[in-house]
Amino acid sequence: MTEREMQQHIATLQRWLSGAWRRLGDPALTPFDKRELRNQMKQTDLALRQCFALLSERKSAQRTQAKADVRAFVKPDLRFLA
């Protein structure tokens, strides 16, 4: 999954959770429906956290790789002959 797809997936999950919170306040929902909705919200929240963790891991790996690519200043070995 590319970073762009991951961002889209995260946005989709966030929109779904936002709508679920609004729907949870609906007085027409039965207690069973509310319980099922809360269970789905927990599953979605878990998926969202996993996506955030994966995205964070990828970004930290990219930063580590970028740091490794940059040459660090190394003191040259110089010998003075007298």
Task: Identify the pLDDT of residue 1.
Answer: 79
Amino acid at 65: Q
Q: pTM of this prediction?
A: 0.70
Provide the residue type at 73 as one letter. Answer: F
Residue 29: what residue type?
L
Predicted local distance difference test score (pLDDT) of residue 71: 62
Interval 32-80: pLDDT, tens = 999 999 999 999 999 999 999 999 998 888 777 766 655 666 777 777 7
What the block records as the tokens of 43 is 């599953």
| Rounded Cα–Cα distance for residues 53 and 51 (Å) | 5
Tokens of 24: 């949870």
